[in-house]
Amino acid sequence: MQVFLYINLVEETAYQQPVVVQVRQAFPALGILDMDARSDELLQHYALRLLQEAEQAVVCIKADDATGQLNNLMPLLEELFQERLQRLVLLQGQHPRLQRIFAARPQVLFKVVEEEQVVEELKDFLINTPV
């Protein structure tokens, strides 16, 4: 199973995320879940299970300097830190703490990207990473 998990930690009121819409259009068969900083525990648990069961997973985290606590995100981050080669983490925006966290874990494939780069990075990863 291939999945795309989009986590929006930026405080905004938009219900539909443009990146998620673009990914759905480009990869209609891909399992997609999007959540935000206010997502409840059940959705977070579902996201964790999705990551654990996926053969390939791309996680895109949208964050900025104003993004506060990451406590709700820690179970997902801990799962990403596991040594599995079929995972890619994309950071959309600048968040120094997240950048330091991932830089300290060379086993995690991590890139900082702009919104318009997400679909291309996803495509490259899914095509070029053996399952």
pLDDT in tens, 78-112: 888 887 668 899 999 888 888 988 888 888 899 99
Chain-centre distance for alpha carbon 99: 13
CATH for 2-128? 3.40.50.10140
pLDDT in tens, 3-60: 999 999 887 666 678 899 999 999 999 999 999 877 888 998 999 999 999 989 999 9
Q: Are 59 and 90 in contact (CB under 8 A)?
A: yes
Q: Quote the CA–CA distance of 23 and 53 in Å, as a whole number.
A: 20
Q: Quote the CA–CA distance of 87 and 107 in Å, as a whole number.
A: 10
Longest dimension (CA), the chain: 37
Q: Are 4 and 45 in contact (CB under 8 A)?
A: no
**Structure pTM?**
0.90
Spans of all domains in the chain: 2-128
Per DSSP, 73 falls in state: G
Which H or E run includes 49? helix 41-53
Cβ neighbors of 6 (< 8 A, separation 6 or more) are: 17, 19, 20, 23, 32, 33, 34, 35, 59, 60, 62
Residue 119 confidence (pLDDT):
95
